[in-house]
Amino acid sequence: MLRLTCIGKNGFEMPHSKRTYLKILGKGHMGLLKLIERINLNDNTFLILMAAGIGVFSALCNAFFRISITAMEKLFFEDIFHYFGVSYDFPGRLLLFFIPIIGALIIMPVIIRYPKESSGYGLPGLLENVIFKNAVIAPKTILLRTFTTSVTLGSGGSAGREGPIVAIGAAIGSAFGQLFRISGNRMRILVACGAAGGISAAFDAPIAGAMFALEIMLLGNLAVYSFSPIVISAGVATVTTRAIFEKEVEFFLPAFTMVSLQEFYLYCLLGLVAGLVAVGYIRLYYHITDRFERLNVHIGVRLLIGAALLGAIGVAFPQVFGIGYKWMNEALMGHIPLYLMLSLVLLKIVATAVTLGSGFSGGVFGPSLFIGLMLGGSFASIANMLLPGTIDMPSYAMVGMGAMVAAASQAPLTAIFLLFEMTGDFNIVLPTMFACMISVSLMKILKQDSIDMVPLTRKGYRFSGGKDVTIMQRLSVRDVETRNCDAIPESLPFRQIQMLIAKSAQMDFPVLNHQGQLVGIISFQDIRKVIFEEGLDDLIVARDIASTDLITVHVNDNLQDALEKFTIRDFDHLPVVDDEGKLHGMISRQKILQAYNNEVQRIALQEG
């Protein structure tokens, strides 16, 4: 009699208790799916119900995350100092150098074992997964990010908690999708619901959370089908968070004050300055993180190097440690001098890059708020020297926060609504709109990608066209081109060219030299110029009438690149060449649009 055994991943027989557990779990899962099918909910209602559940879980995870960070901060910056009986004055302040190193040693085993899920700035990888892949995120990301980021921020890591809470929320949304066997665009919506819930819970700002999900996670794809679940998730997460923390605020924003309408000019100038600083912020950040990636050392050694550098900065400027809300409050109350605010703009950028580049876990949204506030405060202090008594420094500091977030993330709506919801003052909206739009416009003029998109653009992705661009980028010229096309030798007489054209269905004809390389193209417009001239049939050859100012498409280009080249001139066909400049085929505008429509239909069928 045969006995069936269940074998685990390690090749050994699975214990009976575990087999029983998995069997019960599987039956429960199937029963749940059958129950949902029996209820017969329509697709939109089902998504909204799941969005509400995702909002609740996102808020609960955010609450646990915040409590964990607070506990770690108390451990590293209160209990350790109390244990050694020292204060923050010298020489006891030198203990700050070792705090990040201790944190690095605690999280090092986890980061070595799970580097992708637990270290660095994970939002670019998350965006790539959501936009270009299947949006399936391992549930273990929730615990791993919570642990490593809590220790990172608690031990002085210069980063934000918002990026990790987005990753945690997205993992919750993906887990819901996996549980109910959802895929395609609906899975992406659930992941965006988790991100919206995370941001909403973190800032008590449901509108900003929804805008974040739409602007960044879904690339501005404002469809009613996706908008409703995202708004529900953001709202439920906010209500749940308020029930837990009772509208507790972590840093206080004073009332917005504007003395005269002439200040709009200053807010526009602040937006310009914020845009320039944001460009420098992104470029310096990636310059430093690239240096860490090029270090030919073990990931644990790299982590310790970053911890030592961070500790050295923190001994001299402890304001760069952690999230920085305490020091943001101090700046808003006018307790930080101008020279220190200006110094902290640069030092926070360096400290954040060192933290995340070396392998600590965290985000860049919080540091963007910190940098923007210090920049706005510095701007107001300098303006007050030139125009005494006419400028309210905290108001410029708050608008500076919005302008910096808008520029660095290229998410102006998120920044505008965030400031409005955090202050509850509608008067701040108009100056923030001016500053944010100017800072974002400057980023676009300077062709600077957002801090989230730089790693993806380095991989060849582009996002200027939203969803259409991402679909076109997935399609290759090689798969759409026409290989069997009629080509003309450059020495072919005009009489034979006419005979060839009469028999061909093509509209444009590539011209090749004796080595097979593309040297020109003949269109009907070129032929029309000489066809009625008598006596030229045997006097001129193909190279005499061919257009040599070529626009070509490479065989490895994607269809978005190819379509952009069609707009340079009004051609219906373009030649496709290989690395050696030899003709590989022809591609038409009609073929590109047909391939795009086919891909859209295929995605729609796949998503049900």
Pairs from 423-427 (Cβ < 8 Å, separation ≥ 24): 423/253, 423/255, 423/256, 423/398, 425/255, 425/256, 427/256, 427/258
Amino acid at 489: P
Share of the chain above pLDDT 70, in %: 86
Give this prediction's pTM. 0.78
pLDDT in tens, 267-277: 999 999 999 99
The CA distance from 218 to 220, in Å, is 6
Which amino acid does the sequence have at 254?
A: P
**pLDDT score of 565 more than 50:** yes
Tokens of 554: 């490479």
Q: No. of H helices and E strands in the chain?
A: 27, 6
Tell me which CATH code domain 263-467 carries. Answer: 1.10.3080.10
Residue 462 to residue 569: CA distance in whole angstroms: 22
Strand 508-512 and strand 518-523: the pairing is antiparallel
Q: Is there a common fold for 41-245 and 263-467?
A: yes
Q: Residue range 455-483: average pLDDT?
A: 73
CATH, domain range 471-606: 3.10.580.10
What band does 3 get if pLDDT is binned at 50, 70 and 90? very low
Q: What mean pLDDT is predicted for residues 109-135?
A: 86
The confidence score (pLDDT) of residue 155 equals 94
What pLDDT, in 10s, does the model give residues 142-165?
999 999 999 999 999 999 988 899
Helices (H), 476-532: 477-480, 494-503, 524-530
Is residue 67's pLDDT more than 80? yes
Both tokens of residue 167? Answer: 């990753």
CA distance 153 to 243: 25
Under CATH, what is the fold of the domain 41-245?
A: Clc chloride channel (1.10.3080)
Q: Which residues of 394-428 are buried (b: 16+ CB within 10 A; e: fewer)?
A: bbbbbbbbbbbbbbbbbbbbbbbbbbbbbbebeeb
Comparing CA positions, the residue from 143, 155, 99 lying closest to residue 118 is 143
- pLDDT at 9 > cutoff 50: no
Region 392-416 average pLDDT: 94
* Banded pLDDT at 2 (limits 50, 70, 90): very low
| pLDDT for residue 220 | 61
Q: What HEC string does 542-560 produce?
A: HHHHCECCCCCEECCCEHH
What whole-number distance in Å separates Cα of residue 492 and Cα of residue 500? 10
Q: Are 306 and 368 in contact (CB under 8 A)?
A: no
Q: Name, in order, each residue with C-beta under 8 angstroms of 277's C-beta and a sequence gap of 6 or more.
A: 345, 371, 375, 404
C-alpha to C-alpha distance for 282 and 238, rounded to whole angstroms: 30
pLDDT classification of 598: cutoffs 50, 70, 90: confident
Provide the CA 365 distance to its chain's centre, in angstroms: 11
- Position 71 pLDDT exceeds 70: yes
Query: For residues 529 and 545, what is the distance between their CA atoms, to the nearest angstrom?
Result: 9
How far apart CA 426 and CA 311 sit, in angstroms, is: 41
Measured distance CA(524)–CA(526) in Å, rounded:
5
Q: Which of 28-37, 302-311, 511-520 has the lowest mean pLDDT?
A: 28-37
3-class DSSP assignment, residue 489: strand
Q: Mean pLDDT throughout 204-225?
A: 81
467 alpha-carbon distance from chain centroid: 14
Please check the confidence at residue 389 and state whether its pLDDT lies above 90. Answer: no
Residue 133 C-alpha from the chain's centroid:
14
* CA dihedral sign, ordered 99, 100, 103, 105: negative
State how far the Cα of 575 lies from the Cα of 546, in Å rounded to an integer. Answer: 13
The string over 158-172, giving b where at least 16 C-beta atoms fall within 10 Å of a residue's C-beta and e elsewhere, is: bbbbbbbbbbbbbbb
User: What's the CA gap between 365 and 158, in Å, rounded?
Assistant: 11
Per residue, what are the HEC states of 65-131?
A: HHHHHHHHHHHHHHHHHHHHCCCCCCCHHHHHHCHHHHHHHHHHHHHHHCHHHHCECCHHHHHHHHH
What is the domain partition of the chain in residue ranges?
1-40, 41-245, 263-467, 471-606
pLDDT of 285 reads 96
Check pLDDT > 60 for residue 92: yes
Mean pLDDT of 53-74: 93
Q: Please check the confidence at residue 346 and state whether its pLDDT lies above 90.
A: yes
Q: What tens digit of pLDDT does each residue of 360-371 get?
A: 999 999 999 999
CA angle 62, 64, 69 (to 5 degrees): 95
pLDDT of residue 5: 47
- Ranges 32-41, 55-64, 121-130, 521-530: which has the least confidence: 32-41
Q: What mean pLDDT comes out for the span 237-252?
A: 81
pLDDT at 223: 62
What local confidence, expressed as pLDDT, does residue 542 receive?
Answer: 78
Compute the distance between CA of residue 235 and CA of residue 201 in angstroms, rounded to an integer. Answer: 9
| Residue corresponding to tokens 């993180």 | 289
Kindly list the strands in the beta sheet with 553-554, ordered across the sheet, starting from the edge strand earlier in the chain: 553-554, 573-577, 583-588
Residue 540 has a pLDDT of 80
Give the Cα separation of 574 and 587 in Å (integer).
Answer: 5
The residue ranking higher by pLDDT, 106 or 596, is 106
Q: How far is CA 373 from CA 251, 256, 270, 348, 416, in A?
A: 12, 14, 11, 12, 14
* Alpha carbon separation from 141 to 132, 168, 256, 452 (Å, rounded): 19, 7, 39, 19
* Helix (H/G/I), strand (E/B), else coil: 483: coil
Please state, in angstroms and as integers, the Cα–Cα distance from residue 308 to each residue in 96, 252, 444, 462, 481, following that order: 10, 32, 36, 36, 55
DSSP 205-244: -HHHHHHHIIIIISTT---HHHHHHHHHHHHHHHHHHHHH
Average pLDDT over residues 171-192: 86
What's the whole-number mean pLDDT along residues 382-398?
A: 87
The pair of structure tokens assigned to 463 is: 């996002």
CA distance 375 to 369: 10
pLDDT of residue 1: 39
